[in-house]
Amino acid sequence: MNKKIVECFLFVCLLLFLFLSCTNHMQERVAVALNFSKDNKQELEKVLSYYKGQSSKLKAAQFLIANMPYHYTYIGWEIDTLKQLKKRSITEGKISEEVIQRWNYFNFMHLPREYDIHKISSAYLIENIDLAFEVWENRPWSKYYSFEDFCEYILAYRIEDEPLESWRRKYYDRYMPILDSLYQGTDVMEAAQKMADYLKTEGFAHYNDFSLPHLGPLFLLDSRVGYCRENCDIATYVMRAVGIPISMDFYEIAPSYNRKHFWSALIDTTHLVVSFNYEEEPMSRKPRPNERKRGKVYRICYGVQPERIKGIFADKCVPSLFRHPFLKDVTNEYFPDSRVTVELDKTSKDGKAYLSIFSIGQLRAIAITEVKGNRADFDFVEPDVSYFPSCMIEGKNVSAGYAFTLKNNAPDYFIPDATSLVEVTLYRKYPMRSNVKNLGNTCGVKIEGADTYDFMKPELLYEVVDTPKVNYNILKVNPKKKYRYIRYSAPKDKFVELAEWRMYAENISQPITPRNITADHPLSELHRKNLDLMDDNDWVSFYMSEVVGEQLIFDLGKPYKLDHILFMPRNDDNFIHLGDSYELFYHAGAQGWISLGKRMAEDTELHYDNVPEGALLWLHNYTRGEEERAFYMKQGKQVFL
């Protein structure tokens, strides 16, 4: 009972705090924060007293304290345990499946929260403020930024929900000498690029095995492990410590991927954003072609942001994305001239409408607005993306109109014509992405047979001369005679990347089990073990060679006359999978998805002859996988958006 009373009190206090945060009354906000701090009030008052008479630093202290009440970290031994497992994965290469399964259902958001304002010390805040001012005042580019920019992109002591740790001095001491040795100029982007290049040399291990809050500055200082979020966290701590204004932007759900994605955002002197990931390509002030589609972009801020619609912070019927008080919609910095008005065929009682992305079989809201009659206006959205107008009905996000793409600030709707049915042939349920490259890497592969292991007199059985169109390929061979040894040779500049490989002899239904598999160079223990991945019935796992141009030699034990070979290059298993159960749907506006029938895949393609012309389609696999995206047909080909 006591816990519930405390939680109710905190909730009321936070609502009051959030209300005041939407105003410019700094003194009132600081007063509310001090009242919320309870036993820690004296520590905060020490900071305010310490900077009395130092106008800029006092304003900085007020900014931090005024926005502090809603900042917290999760605490629990479980987090510490999983962080150590992540650390071990750097050297061990992989966390065991047994450990992953054990922690698969762990949800850190059920752990206790420790609020900064109840814990933070005056010494911590004073060191943070003094170091931030020291480094900023010595940077030639600082004159181009406002005090508000400084507070948000340099001064802030935390990113989101990481542990409250004294990090700024440690990062300053390590990286300030490095920046000074690498760059002495005045261009903030050049300075950031030099630091990004250096960070790349320190390495980063990509593992996304557990769901955890931000890992924290002290952990990441020496343990470079995680996923895109941790990569951005490292850049944020380093750049802010040396006086480079930076933040972290993200999309909640991608128009073309199934996951949230983060990237670093350099705040340029032009006040345009320069997005980057220090492990990837160099920074550029010019927009890059072929970047990932983003739809809507949000920024994680330290300061509380204004409510997009009055009252939504406390409205539990609104998706959590729009109730997050520290998220700022910064899509205008990426797509400043894009906006759209859409027609709604369905509305909800709360008067709100959403712009949604279709992902993993459901609509995921990425923008919110108020309905005006039967219309909804959405500002700053990315062109050439498939969007779905939607609304909340009985707690579920449902379609409220026809899907569309944004072209020249106008919706281009997908309106199916049920009176005109067309025939379609489908090969995939998800965009090609890296499959184009992976399949293309097999061009030039040679398959040979020989009587002896040294292949003194080989016969060429098959050569891949064009990029395979699908992952599942049956290579018909017609050798002159029986051979005991089969050799797979990758092109000289390509790695072997095989997901599945099976050889079949004439008049024998079962594949030949090789007595031994070797290579033209000594294989490491790991690579010898990974040879099994070519025969594990998992179309996603694959054997990858240590070196380019590798030759694999299969000893069949005795001579066989081969008939055909199952050849499956590295792929994502989103092609039509033989034996799987599929269902095709078309989108019918406010009616949602309408089925066009189920099919069992008997080949590498599916055929439907009852598809309404002009429809947006969705192919669902009931047997396996989650990666599915909407598409339309153009000149007989699937076009994913």
Q: Tens of pLDDT along 246-259?
A: 999 999 987 777 77
**For residue 392, with 0-12 CB atoms within 10 Å meaning exposed, 13-18 middle and 19 or more buried, which class applies?**
buried
Who wins on pLDDT, 147 or 85? 147
Q: Say what percent of the chain tops pLDDT 90.
A: 79
C-beta neighbour count of 458 within 10 angstroms: 19
Question: Residue 7: its pLDDT value, please?
Answer: 45
Distances (CA, A) of 212 to 3, 157, 203, 215: 25, 20, 21, 7
- Report, as an integer, the average pLDDT of 443-448: 98
Please state whether 203 falls in left (phi above 0), alpha (psi between -120 and 50) or beta: left
Nearest Cα to Cα of residue 389 among 410, 369, 408? 369
Rounded Cα–Cα distance for residues 209 and 345 (Å) = 42
Rounded Cα–Cα distance for residues 164 and 314 (Å) = 26
Taking each helix axis as running N to C, give the angle between helix 41-50 and helix 26-36, from 0 to 180 degrees, rounded to the nearest 10.
140
Question: Residue 231: its pLDDT value, please?
Answer: 93
Residue found by looking up tokens 């479980």 in the block? 78
- Residue 164's SS3 state is coil
Question: Residues 623, 629, 630, 635: is their CA dihedral positive or negative?
Answer: negative
Q: Say what percent of the chain tops pLDDT 70.
A: 95
pLDDT at 332 over 50: yes
Highest mean pLDDT out of 204-208, 225-229, 318-322: 318-322
pLDDT at 282 over 90: no
C-beta neighbour count of 157 within 10 angstroms: 23
Helices (H), 444-530: 525-530
pTM score, whole prediction: 0.86
DSSP label of 153? I
Rounded Cα–Cα distance for residues 273 and 268 (Å) = 6
Q: What is the secondary structure of 246-299 as a DSSP string?
A: EEEEEESS-SSSSS-EEEEEEE-TTS-EEEE-TTSSPP-SSPPTTPPP-SS-EE
- Residue 606's SS3 state is strand
Distances (CA, A) of 387 to 257, 351, 411, 583: 14, 19, 9, 22
Q: How far apart are the first and last CA of the chain?
A: 51
Q: What is the secondary structure of 60-78 as a DSSP string?
A: HHHHHHHT-TT-EEE--HH
